[in-house]
Each structure stands twice: as C-alpha cells, then as structure tokens.
A and B are shown apart, each in its own frame.
Chain A
Amino acid sequence: MSATILPEERALDSHRMSHSRESKRYGFFPGCVAKESCKELFNSTMLLADKLGIELIELTAASCCGASVVNDVNRDVARVLNARTYAQAEALGLDDVITICSTCTGHMRAANKELLESEERMDQANAILGKFGAKYKGSVMVRHLLWLLIDDIGLDNLRKMVVRPLNGLKVAPFYGCHIIRPEKVNGWESARNPHSLEDVIDALGGEPVEYAGKTRCCGFHVQLEKEDIAANMVGQNMRMAKDNGAEAVITPCPLCHLALDGYQKDAAARWGRTDLPTFHLPQLVAFALGVEPEKLGLNKHLIDPRTIMVERELIS
C-alpha cells in the first residue's frame, strides 16, 4: 500500500486533534472539468461552502468518474474506478460525497447502484481494489450540491442568507441530462418536470424562466464527433429560453456550461443571436450570499455575465 499522505488525511487529522466539529463535513468530488477548463466552478464552490458554513473536503486522489465515455470501451471500468473513490471516502469517514457536475452525479450514482445491487459486482470491484489494500463496504451516498442546498441547507434558510437578491433577474434553468436521467438512477426529483433549480433561483430573488429546453441535452458529449450537432442543440435550447424572456442561464453541470457558453456564437447563424450568459450554479448562489463578484471567475466565461449584471444593477 502506498505511503502517500493526502491533504484530506492531514486536514482530518488536525480536526481530530482540535476536536472541532462545528461545521458539517462532506466528501467533495469536484470532477475533471472543475479542475481543468472550469476552475472558476471549483473556486466558487469552495467560497460558497464557506458562506453556507459547511466543509467540503476534496478527495484529491479520486479519479475521473468515467465521464459517460469509458462505458463505450469496457462495461466494468467506470464501476471499479468509482468503487475506488468510494473506498477512499469511506476510509476518511466521509460517506456523504458531494458532486458539482451532472455527469459525475449520474455516473457515480449508477456505479454505486450497480455495486450495491449485486454482490458479484461488489466482489469483482473489491478483488481489484484489494490489490492495493482498499475495500469498498457500500456506505457511500453521492449527491449533487444542488440537492444539498435544498435538503441540508433548506430553501427557507437559503432565502434568509441572501444579502444580494437578484432583483428579479430572469434566469433559465438548464439541468443537464445526467442529474435527472435515467430516473431510476437519480430519482431525487421528477426527471420530466424538475423544479429544484427554479426553487433556488426563486430563493435568490431571481425569476425562473419556464421553457421546454430546460431538461434537454446540451450536446456536449457529441461535440467532438460532430460539432454542428452540439451547436444546433445549444441554439435550439437557448432560442427557447431567450424567446421566453431569459436574461441568463444557470446550470449545475460544467459540461453544459462549456457547451452553452461556447457554442451560442456558432449557433447564431441558424438560430439567431441569443448570447445568454451561463452561470455555474455555485457562482450565482455564492454571489447572492455575498461573495465578492471578482472572486467568482465571471471574467472566464466566453459570454460575459457581467454585462447583464451591470444592466440589472447587481454589480457596478
């Protein structure tokens, strides 16, 4: 077994020494995109956690969830990779694992479901994990930060914590497929008529925009196969949002963010200009809860959200 000491192990050790257990503690799985091209998502999430008074302890040795892509080459590898991540979380006493990506949420939950429902699969995973001294006992639960906001913080509390209400900013929710579908894997809310994002927008003082595109696909997973498909899906969905009055979009998924933020320009030829800025969920919540806007990486978006924020007198 490797003797590497991980930052999260050190952090938890110092906690045990100081006996401080005031804030609620979660295992945190940021996912690849929040560590690569959407670092602003990672940073905003950590700043939001401070405001919420919770502690997100990053699982720094966790691997990619499989990103819905490795399933295409092997039926077992995503499940075993995630079993390794769960074993790490369990060993740290962090059974409640929080994600900030719809695709991570869906695929980690699917892997967990497969492991918990089949002794054979659990044994297969643990036989491999055993080679490096790890074991998954089956106690981990994977949830998205969006669900944590509603279940653990509560919409009423969230509303009370708002110091910068959104002044009725018209925000279109964009869920991302894998946080709602397949329903048998997620099932936290109705896949066909979810309203958690609308509830959060409302709690922040914004006005949720209803449109048929909110549960549709952003096209991210097919952009490398055929870019036009992704651009058209983005155009189609953003057209619906814009036509129903949206001034901005909010998404719990960085893959959706990359597609929506990146492809509206390319989609304009067919779908008309939409130019809707796309907030990461934690960015907009953190902003309303009082985190300084300069710290949220809003300048990293291709469609700058600060324009509409100035227009709606949210920032100067």
Chain B
Amino acid sequence: MAVKLDIFRFDEATDTIPHRQIVEVDVPDKTTVLDALEAAKAEIDGSISFRRSCRSAICGSCSMNINGVTGLACKTNCSDVVKADGTIAVDPMPNFQPMKDLVVHMDPFWDKYSRLKPYLQPADKDSDHATERRVSPEDMQKLVDVANCIMCATCYALCPVISVDPAFAGPAAIAYAYRFIEDVRDGKRDQRIAQISEDYLWLCAHCYACSYCPKHVDPNDRIIDVKRAAVRDKVMMDERGPRHALTVSKTIKQTGMLAETEVVLGTVGRFNIVAQLKALPLGLRMVSRGKLTPFEMAAGGTAPLLGLPSIKPIPKVNEVTAIFDALEVPTI
C-alpha cells in the first residue's frame, strides 16, 4: 500500500518553528507505522529522526502521536489508521518539549520516576540473610501487571492534568510507586506513600486517558490503589484530596447521596476562609441563577456542624448506612 507520511519536522538547534514534510512510501499491507518511518528514513530522507529499538513493544522508545492518537509506532498498523487520502500524520508526543522531529526531551518524565527511588529497599538490607527473600504467588500477582510497564510515557503524554499542571507526578510514576508500595519485601512503604502524596497523587482527574496504556498496566486503577493505601495509612489526611474522598463517603453514608455543598465546604475546609472566599463567586453565580438555593448552600455549611444531614436522605437510607458499616468504609 502507498502511505503518505505527514511528518512533524523540527530541530531545536536550528529551527524556531516546526514545519511538515510529506513523504510517500510503498509498504506491504500489514506494515507498522514504525516500519513505514524506517522506510522513509532509509529510502528518502536520512535526517528524519525518531526513537526506536526493539520494534516489538518491549523497549518503549517509539511512542508518538499517530493521526492525533498517542501510541507505540511499532504496535500500530498503517492499515488501521491510514486516512482515506492515504495520509498518516506523525507528531511528537504531546506534553513534552520536542528536540528533533519525533524525538522529545524525556527529562521531566524520568525526573519524576527517579524521585520514587524505583528500586527495592528492603528493611533488612544491612543484616545478613542466609536465604532469598521469598514472595508468595498471591503477593506477586498484585505486581505482575504493573511490572509490564515499559516506560514508554504514552500515559504521560495523554494525561490532561500534565498538560495544564506539569507538577503532577503523572500516571506512570504513580503506577510505579504502587509497584514498590505493595511489594512485601520493601521496607520504605510509609516514605513512599508520603513522597507520592507530596508529588500531587490527588491531582489525578479520574479521566481514564491512561487506560489506553499499550501494555495494559492500567495506571488509572493503580492510582486508585495508591490513594487507598494513603487513606488506610492516614498519610496527609488534611490535604484536599483525602478530605474530598472522605467527605463524599460521609455524605453518601448519611444521606445516600453525594451532598454537593457539604462536599465542597468539607473539602476546602469549613474554616478555611481564604479558600471559601475563592470559591464564593462561583457559588454566588450558581445561587443567582437558581442552580442552588441559598438554603441549600447554607445547609451544606451548617448542618454538618450540628451532626445533621445537609440534604434530605433517600428512602431506606439505613440500608446504605448498613453497607458502609459492613465494609468498614472510612469517612471524615
């Protein structure tokens, strides 16, 4: 098949703005985008730059945007993505600074990963141990999926939080934190949970963009696992993230519903005047439009102080409370 590669070209050493180059290559029907790029580089223009090594979705080098979709070029077939006019647009991963063509500066990704101290730190490191550290199959099973991570940074490139707030640790780093937090041989569990909490664990937007992980690590689920570990171990419980989750939990247990105004006030802090003033304009706009009644807004702040539900409980709410009690669900 004939493929028109529409390639992002840029060299940070010489260019101020990128340009595009259209390269036509003739490739067999079941060719990957990476092979098409290799053909373009070998046959037409040797200066086209991209990272690659294994060509079989193990090394994690060749993630890029393919017709606007981030993924591994070696795992994407041309025939699956080619547009009707024969074009395949290739661009560097978003959320990274381009270096040359499809090659990006990976430093922020590796920095966040290094901060985790991504190696085993056993508690008995310095003592003599005559035997190997054994792990039961059940304990190891928890780590198998996340151990498949190949650090390709596809999830980091897809993360909408990173795109507006680069301080966020990002999906891969949190998933890798989980890999050590849940490793029974590791002795730094507490420090690791504290570290990842400080690296803005709770800024995940629950968007599941990282569920497109090419290795099915599902960082989205591992992020939730780490949050649960933080709640269980009561790490940084005064931060908004844990307060949010625990207040939601409390209002559902008490009323069956997520009581909006109580959750807002409970999360920013009922006595945090600065944060409340910041949230006030939006709250007032909502009241002025009749989205919320002044009563609803006031009840969210005052009812919890009196130990009362801030909204009308659903019928048979005692059943909901029974579920929370049976599962010993934490609340604020």
Contacts and interface: CB of A to CB of B under 8 A. Distances in A.
B199 interface: no
A216 B160 contact: yes
Interface string A232-273: 110010000000000000000000000000110010000000
B244 A224 contact: yes
B329 A77 contact: yes
A227 interface: yes
A145 interface: no
B231 interface: yes
Contact of B161 (A32, A84, A229, A302): A229
A316 interface: no
A67 B248 contact: yes
Contact of A128 (B246, B263, B322): B322
B245 A69 contact: yes
Nearest to B224: A71
Contact of B327 (A77, A183, A228): A77
A224 B268 contact: yes
B329 A70 contact: yes
A74 B224 CA distance: 9
B292 interface: yes
B261 to A, nearest CB: 8
B227 A74 contact: no
Interface stretch (B2-10, B39-47, B130-138, B250-258): B250-258
Given A4-B316, A216-B160, A232 B165 contact: yes
A37 B322 contact: no
A183 B160 CA distance: 18
A212 B257 contact: no
Nearest to A217: B207
Contact of B264 (A60, A178, A182, A224): A224
Contact of A68 (B69, B206, B263): B206
Chain B interface secondary structure, helix, strand, loop or mixed?
helix
A264 B208 CA distance: 23
Question: Chain B interface residue count: which class?
Answer: 35 or more
B327 A128 contact: yes
Interface residues of A, number: 65
Given A63-B320, A217-B160, A76 B245 contact: no
B260 A73 contact: no
Contacts of B208: 106, 177-178, 181-182
A60 B314 contact: yes
Nearest to A70: B249
Contacts of B318: 2, 132
A302 B286 contact: yes
Most chain A CB inside 10 Å of its own CB: which residue of B256, B279, B323: B323
A221 B203 CA distance: 9
B205 A32 contact: no
B292 A37 contact: yes
28 contacts: A2-B316, A4-B315, A32-B257, A33-B260, A38-B291, A61-B314, A61-B315, A62-B256, A62-B314, A64-B252, A67-B258, A68-B206, A69-B258, A72-B245, A73-B329, A74-B249, A77-B323, A106-B208, A132-B322, A177-B207, A192-B69, A222-B206, A229-B164, A233-B163, A262-B286, A300-B290, A300-B291, A302-B291
Interface of A: 2, 4, 6, 32-33, 35-38, 60-64, 66-77, 80-81, 84, 106, 128, 131-132, 134, 177-178, 181-184, 192, 212, 216-217, 219-222, 224-230, 232-233, 236, 262-263, 266, 299-302
Given A177-B207, A220-B205, 18 more contacts: A38-B291, A60-B315, A61-B314, A73-B330, A76-B327, A80-B323, A80-B326, A177-B206, A177-B209, A216-B160, A216-B209, A222-B161, A224-B263, A233-B160, A233-B161, A233-B164, A262-B282, A302-B291
